[in-house]
Each structure stands twice: as structure tokens, then as C-alpha cells.
Amino acid sequence: MNHSPIATAEQWRASPRRRTPDEVPVSGALMCPPDHFDVIDVRNAHMSAHVGQIDVAAARSQWNSLAEAIDAMGLDVHLLDPPKGLVDAVFTANPSLVSVDDCGQPVAIIGRMDHPDRRPESALHRSRLRQLGIRCLDIEAATAGVWEGNGDTLKHPGLSLLWCGVGMRSQLECHLEVGRMTGHELAILHLPDPCFYHLDTALAMLREDCVAVVRSAFDSDGIELLESAFDQLIEVDQQEARDQLAGNLWCPDGLHVLMPAGAPITAGRLSKHGFVVTEIETGEFLKSGGSVFCMRQEIREPV
């Protein structure tokens, strides 16, 4: 089994991809109520003007709207209950990755967070995911570096392949270990723009043949690789991507898309391609550099 990472279009075209047999579908989302959410310092390019500026009531209302939209799609909402002080725990995409192994069965890889005060979130995810019956694995201690879960690692629908963002928050060595543990091939994308500090701010899996992408977030090799891998690239509007994190969207079933409100150009492009779009106001969470995808960790329950 080849775990050499794919980094160029030429490497993509060199051999056929493997399919994931009997892939267990997404059945729900792991979410964390924003009871302790706050911006207390600057950790990414979106936060600099928003320290201490969170409207708690508005954040709760926006989070409720997202949870209700997920429930309306027929997906289960599973909750975390973090202790006071974990101000970023609402962003459940990062402390773990819930996906499938190369046999299509659910598996979770526990994240290694960059910021010290986010590191306790990984243990919370491990405990909660085990309660749901999901097998949890940890990156070996001998592997150096940080790795922020689903924020930088996206499963390609139908294929035994993970798209991996290498940049501010996740390092190649950890991605390679995740590939080994899951049995998946890896496709590597570099993230040079600090505005798009996680892969999930600039890339969203829609279907096996279709992806939403913020072109300016990637170098030329990355764009050429994406153009080789997908028949359709739906471009996220550049200004909407920066102002509203319009690329931070979630499509759990290949049809329904949950995305940030205030991005009519991107929403229109998705609708024209046949996707059913629901827009969610996430303005309070944008102050921390997060939006729809950041606030859910997909759950695939054992069958």
C-alpha cells in the first residue's frame, strides 16, 4: 500500500485511486455549546480587532440556528460539556478527526492542538467519541509536531484518500502518521495565506467529483492538483471568503450545504450546481476566525 503523499497533478495522474468499500455515512455532528466562548487573545488573522468583543446572547442564538439546521437534515446532534475556561471548545472540528478507515469503518484520530489552552479539548473529544462507540487512535508520541484534526484533514468522498493542509496549524509528519493509521492515501496542499490558516477555511468536499475552493488560498501546484482531482471546482468568491469565511461550509450528504450567511455570490454558485443551500448567520464566531464547518465534527456511528 502506497502512503507516499500526492503533491502535484502529475503524481495524481500517475496511478488510479483506491475506493473506500462500504463507507459508513455521516450520521450526526459533535457540537459544543458556546457557553464559554470568547476572544481573549489573537491566534489568527481574523481575531485582531475582536478581543473582548463577543456578544454572548448573539453567539448562542447563532449556534442554536446551526444545531437546528443540522437536526433538520435528519442528523443527530451530540454535545460536549467542557469546563469553564476552554473558550475555543465550540470549534469542534479541530481536536479530532472522525472519518473512516480504508475498510469504510468509523475511526477517530485525536488531534494535537497548537495553542496550549486548547490541548485539554483533545481528551474531551476522546472521552465523548468513545461514549459513542467510535474507535479512537492517537498519533504516536515519537511523531513530532501539531495536527488540528478535521480543520486540516478532509476525507475525499468515496475514495481512500485524505486531503491534508500543511501550514500554521498542522505539519506534514503528523499527516503522514494519520495516513498510516487510517490506511488512506494523502494529497498535500500548502496554505501560504494566514487568512486561510486551516484547510477547512478554503476547501470543502461536496461530492466525489466536486469541491468548493478558495483559489487564492493555494499555490499553483495546489490548484493544479485540485483541478486534476475534481471534475468540478466551484469557486468561492474571493471577498466573501475573506470577509465571511464563505469557504467554511459543510456538505455531509453530497446534496445539502450549510454555509455562512452573507455570501450571496458563493451561495448562488452552489445552487446553480444543484446543491440545496442553507445559510447560517455566524458573525460572532467570525470574530474568532471560525464558522459553520469549524463548529461541527462529523460523526459516523458504528453499525
pLDDT digits (tens, 9 = 90+) for 175-222: 999 999 999 999 999 999 999 999 999 999 999 999 999 999 999 999
- Write down the pLDDT at residue 99: 97
Q: What is the pTM of this model?
A: 0.95
Query: Which three cell numbers, joined as nine digits, stand for 197?
Result: 490558516
Task: Assign residue 189 the CATH number of its domain.
Answer: 3.75.10.10
Mean pLDDT of 50-56: 77
Number of separate domains in the chain: 1
What is the rounded CA–CA span in Å between residue 104 and residue 110?
18
Residue 2 domain-assigned (yes or no): no
Q: What is the pLDDT of residues 89-119, one digit of tens each?
A: 999 999 999 999 999 999 999 999 999 999 9
Residue 289 scores a pLDDT above 90? no
Of 240, 237, 243, 238, whose CA–CA distance to 269 is shortest? Answer: 237
The parent domain of residue 127 ranges over 9-299
Residue 256 domain-assigned (yes or no): yes
Residue 4 domain-assigned (yes or no): no
Residue 128 domain-assigned (yes or no): yes
- Write down the pLDDT at residue 47: 64
Residue 3 domain-assigned (yes or no): no
* 3 state SS for 35-53: CCCCCCCCCCCCCCCCCCC
